[in-house]
Structure 1
Amino acid sequence: MASTSQLFDTPRSPTVKQAEPTTEPSKLMVRDVPGDYGRPFIGPVMDRLDYFYNQGRDKFFQSRMEKYKSTVFKANMPPGPFISKNPNVVVLLDGKSFPVLFDVTKVEKKDLFSGTYMPSTNLTGGYRVLSYLDPSETSHSKLKNLLFFLLKSSRDKIFPEFHSCYTDMFESLETQLAKNGKAGFSDANDQAAFNFLARAYFGANPPDTKLGSDGPGLVTKWVFFQLAPILTVGLPRIVEEPLLHTFPLPPFLVKSDYQRLYDFFNESSKSVLDEAEKMGISRDEACHNLVFATCFNSFGGIKILFPSILKWIGSSGSELQAQLARRSGPLSNPTAGN
C-alpha cells in the first residue's frame, strides 16, 4: 500500500507532449488524507472486528466514507496483528483516485498481492512468485514475459478447449437433471475450469494423469491457506479470530497436496519450462509461478466469476437468453471475429 501522508501530496499529470508554459497557478487544493489508524495494536484489531463482524465489509467502507465525507481515507485493513506487520492503508473508493495505484513512484507493490500481508513462501516452493514482486525487481519482468509467452503459445487453444470442456459439463448436468431432477453446479464448474486451463495452457487432460479429478479440491485447499486471514467462514467469532485472523495456518498441512499440483504442472509444461530457461529463469521457480498463475489467478477467477455470469444470465429473462442462443453455435472458426 502507499505511504499514507504522501499519497496525494504531489499530484502529477502524464507528460505526453511539451505543453506551452502557463502563468496561471494550479487551482488544485492539496488536502490531508482524512481518517485515523487508532492506537497501535488496538486500532487494527478494532477495525478488523468491524470489518468481519460488527459492520461487515460494505458497511465498514460506507460508514467511514460518510464519517470523513471523502472517498479517500485512512483505515486499517485485516488481518492486522499478528499476521500483518503494517495494516495501515489509504482506501480509494472512486475512479479518480484509483489510477494512483498504477503509479510505481507512489505505490510500492512488494509482497502486497493478498492485502497487507504476505503468505509464507513455503506455500509456493520457497519463492516469492510474480504477484508479490514489485515492478522494480529484476525477476518481475522475466516472469511476466514468461506468462505472456504462455498466453501467446496457447492462443489457438483457448476457445476450442473452453467450448469442449464446458459443453461436456453442461451435457453432464443435463443428464443428472433428467435422471435425478437436480444437479450440483459448483463441483462440476470447478472441474471444468481446471480441465480447461490445463488443456488450453499445457495440452494436458487432468483425468488422464495421476492427478485425476483431484485438482480443484487441492487448489481450493491450498488457496484457502493463503487467504484465510482475510476470510470469514461463519464460525463463532471466538473461534474464528484466533484460528484464522491472528496467526497464519501452518503450511505443512498442505505440503503434500501442493506437491501433487507441482508434479502435474512440472510434467505437463515442459515446453514452457524450456522457454523459461532461455529467459534465465530456473525450471523450478518457473514451475511454481505456473502453478500460482494457473491455480490462484486463473482458476480462482473462473471459479468465482463464471457462476456469477450464469446467475445474471439466468435472471435476465428469456429475451437476452434467446439472443445469446442465436449468437452461439458450432465453433467452426474460433479465431474469426464477428
Structure 2
Amino acid sequence: MSSPCVSSSHLKNKSDYKLSSPPLLSDLPLREIPGSYGLPFFGAIKDRWDYFYVQGEDQFFRSRMEKYNSTVFRVNMPPGPWISHDSRVIVLLDGNSFPVLFDTFKVEKRDVLTGTYMPSTSFTGGYRVCAYLDPSEPAHASLKSLLLSFLTSKHEEIVPLYKSCLKGMFDELEDQLRGKGRAEFGPPNDVVSLEFVFRLFCDGKSPLDTKLESKGPSMFKKWLICQLAPLKTLGLSKLLIPIDDFILHSIRLPFFLVKGDYKRLYDAFYSSATSYLDKAESFGISREEACHNLVFIAGFNAFGGFLRWFPLFIKWVASGGETLHRELAKEIRAAVRCEGGVTLNAINKMTLTKSVVYEALRIEPPVLYQYGLAKDDLMIHSHDAAFKIKKGEMIFGYQPFATKDPKIFHNPDKFIGNRFVGEKGEKLLKYVLWSNGRGIDDPTMDNKQCPGKNLVELLSRFFLVEFFLRYDTFSVEIGTLLSDTTVTFLSLKKATTSA
C-alpha cells in the first residue's frame, strides 16, 4: 500500500497492458523451424552484410519474421567467417519462447556471452571469467557467490556512494550548458561510472588516486572495443564498407593493442581492492583469478553496462516530455518530504519512478542478445506453434523484439511511463527480460542472471530521484556512435519547488 504522503495522481491513468490467453501448449501445432543458412561460408557472409549494412538489426529480423510468418526461424548471426567457428542459430523473437534461454537445465551457457564467437582469454589474464562459465562448472558457483556476497555486504553504502559521484556530473552539465549552450552526457557519465564502480569494489579509493589517474575510462573503452568490435560497425560510407567489414568482422583485434592498458587496470584493482580479494581467498579463489574476474566485472559488466544503459535511459525519459517529467518530480519530491530524505524506503514508495525504469529497460534493453546451446533435444513454444530443437544447436534470442511482443504488451513500440503501475502492471514485470532472466527473478549462483540486476535497477531509480529533485524538465539531442546511443543535453530547467 502506498503512503498517504506520496502523490498518486499518475495512478488515475491505467497502465497499458494486454495479457493474452494463449492456447494450452499441448494444443499448439508442431511446425518445422523455417529459414535457411544458405551456402556454406557465403550464406554467413550474406547474412552479415544484411545485418550490418543492407537492412540493419531490426529490419534484419523483422523481414525474416514476416517472410516465414514465424517468430522462430533459422539464420546466421554475425560475425561469421573467419571469427565465428559456427554462425548458425535458431532465432527466438517472442516473449513466450524466449525464456528457454534462461533455463540452464535445457541450455548450456558455456562461452556464449558474446554469441557465436568468444574473445581470446588474453583479454582476461588467461582465465575464462565467470560470465563465460556455465553454472554446471564448479568455478561458476564460487565466483558468482563471491560477487553476490560482496554486493550484499555493500548494500547500505551503495546509495550514498552513488549520490556523491552524481553531484559532480550535474555541476559539469550545467557548466557546459552555460558555456556552450549544449552539454555532452558521455564524458561525465564515463567519469561517474568508473568512479562509482572503482570506489565500490576498492574500499572507497578513487581511480584518480592510483596509477590510472584520469585515464581509466579510456583504457577500459579500448579494452572493450577490442573484444566487442565483431558486433559493431563504424558507420562508414558505402565505398568504405568493405574496409569496415574486414577490420571489424573478418579478423580479431589482437590483445597486444591493449596489453599495457590492461596491466595498469589489473594492477590498480589488485593493489586497491583489498577487501574483495581477501574475501575471495575465503571462498577458495586465488587473488589472481579473483582480480582478473573483478576487472571484467568492473570494466565489462558494470562500467561498460553503464556507458550503454544511461544514455538509453535518458533518451526514453526525455521522450516522455514535460508531462511525465512533472509527474516524476511530483512523486519524487512528495516521497522525499514524507520520509525526511532520500532513503531506500522513500525510493520504494515511488511507483511511477520504478515503472519508468522498467519501461525503459523493456523498450530498449541494454543487452540485445542472449545465446545458449541446447543440452538435449527439446521442444519450444511460440504463441502459435511448437518447434523441435536438436541437441547441440545454438539458440539465439533478440531481446528488443521479445520485450516488445504485441501479444503481451499493448502499444509495444510506445514508451508508456506508467505501464507497470498498479497490480495489473506489476504482473507484466516478468516479461521484462533485460538481465538474462525475468524481471521478477533474482540472480543466484545457479543461474546466469546478471548479478548486478537489482543494483542497476536501484541506481536507475536513484538517478531519477536526484535528477528530478534538481530539475523540473529537460531536453536532449540523440545521436549514435559505434552503434551506441549518445545524448547531448540542450536544456535543464531548475526545480521551481523543493522536496
TM-score bin, normalised by smaller chain: 0.7 to 0.9
- In structure 2, the CA distance between the partners of 1:238 and 1:333, relative to structure 1 (3 Å rule), is closer
1:228 lines up with 2:237 in the alignment: no
Of 290, 298, 303, the match for 1:299 = 303
| Partner in structure 2 of residue 98 of structure 1 | 98
Match of 1:215 in 2: 216
- Equivalents in 2 of 1:88, 1:259: separation in Å? 36
Matches within 5 A, 1:122-137: 122-137=122-137
Distance in 1 of aligned mates of 2:319 and 2:35:
40
The one-letter amino acid of 2:105's match is T
Letter in 1 for 2:36: D
Taking the aligned partners of 1:317 and 1:333, their CA distance within structure 2 comes to: 24
Number of the residue aligned with 2:251: 247
The residue identity in structure 2 corresponding to 1:325 is A
Which position in structure 1 is the counterpart of 2:493? none
| Cα drift, residue 102 of structure 1 | 1.8
Q: Considering fraction of residues, name the structure with more helix.
A: 1
Alpha-carbon distance, 1:333 to partner: 5.3
The Cα shift of 1:26 comes to 4.1
Which residue is 1:12 aligned to? Answer: none
Alignment of 1:64-213 (within 5 A): 64-202=64-202, 203-213=204-214
Aligned-pair distance for 1:332?
4.1
**2:312 maps to which of 308, 328, 338:** 308
Rounded to whole Å, the distance in 2 between the matches of 1:82 and 1:54 is 20
How far the C-alpha of 1:213 sits from its partner, in A, is: 1.6
Cα deviation per residue 1:169-226 (whole Å; 9 max; x = unaligned)? 1112212322343333211111111111112333221222221221111111100011
CA distance in 2, matches of 1:180, 1:231: 31
Q: Comparing 99-108 with 44-53, which one deviates more in the overlay?
A: 99-108
Tell me how many residue pairs correspond in the alignment: 315
CA apart distance, 1:27: 3.0
Highest RCO, 1 vs 2 (Cα 8 Å, sep ≥ 6)? 2
Deviations 1:92-138 (A, max 9, x none): 00011001112223322111101110000000100011111111111
Q: Where in structure 1 are there 5+ consecutive unaligned residues?
A: 1-24
Letter in 2 for 1:133: L
Aligned AA (2:56): G
1:35 aligned residue: 35
SS class of match (1:73): strand
What is the letter of the counterpart of residue 216 of structure 2? G
Q: Quick check: 1:154–1:201 contact (8 Å CA) kept in 2? A: no
Report the alpha carbon displacement of residue 144 of structure 1 after superposing the two structures with TM.
Answer: 0.8
- Check conservation: 2:71, 2:92, Cα contact below 8 A: yes
Cα distance in 1 for residues equivalent to 2:318 and 2:63: 33
- State the 1:232 CA deviation: 0.5
Instruction: Specify whether residues 34 and 279 from structure 1 end up closer, same or farther in structure 2 by C-alpha distance, changes over 3 A only.
Output: same
Higher percent of residues as strand: 2
Q: What TM-score do the two structures reach when normalised by structure 1?
A: 0.88
Other-structure match for 1:237: 241
1:325–1:200 distance in 2 versus 1, CA, 3 Å? farther
- State the distance in 1 between where 2:48 and 2:157 align: 44
Conservation of the 8 A alpha-carbon contact between 1:160 and 1:334: no
Do the aligned residues in 2 keep the contact of 1:113 with 1:131 (CA within 8 Å)?
A: yes
Alpha-carbon distance change, 176 to 40 in structure 1, aligned in 2, over 3 angstroms: same
Q: Any residues of structure 2 matched to 1:42-53 within 5 Å, and which?
A: 42-53=42-53
Rounded to whole Å, the distance in 1 between the matches of 2:241 and 2:182 is 35
Q: Which moved more, 1:230-239 or 1:89-98?
A: 230-239
2:344 equivalent to 1:335: yes
Q: Is the 8 A contact 1:156 1:335 kept in 2?
A: no
For structure 2, which runs of at least 5 residues remain unmatched after alignment? 1-24, 350-499
Following the alignment from structure 1 to structure 2, what is the Cα–Cα distance between the partners of residues 174 and 295?
28
- In 1, distance between residues paired with 2:102 and 2:185? 37
Cα distance in 2 for partners of 1:183, 1:64 equals: 40
State the distance in 1 between where 2:176 and 2:88 align. 50
**What is the rounded CA distance, in whole Å, between the counterparts of 2:141 and 2:132 in structure 1?**
13
- Say yes or no: does 1:256 pair with 2:257: no
In 2, the alpha carbon distance for the partners of 1:26 and 1:189 equals: 49
Mean CA deviation greater in 105-114 or 119-128: 105-114
Q: What letter corresponds to residue 221 of structure 2 in structure 1?
A: T
Q: 1:103 to 1:182 in 2, by over 3 A?
A: closer
Compute the displacement of 1:322 (Å): 2.6
CA 1:172–1:151 in 2, change beyond 3 Å: closer, same or farther? same
Q: Distance in 2 between matches of 1:30 and 1:73?
A: 14
Report the secondary structure of 2:155's partner residue.
coil
| 2:109 match: secondary structure | coil
Q: Which residue of 2 aligns with 1:324?
A: 328
- What amino acid does structure 2 have at the position aligned with 1:334? T
- Output the CA distance in 2 between the equivalents of 1:27 and 1:318: 47
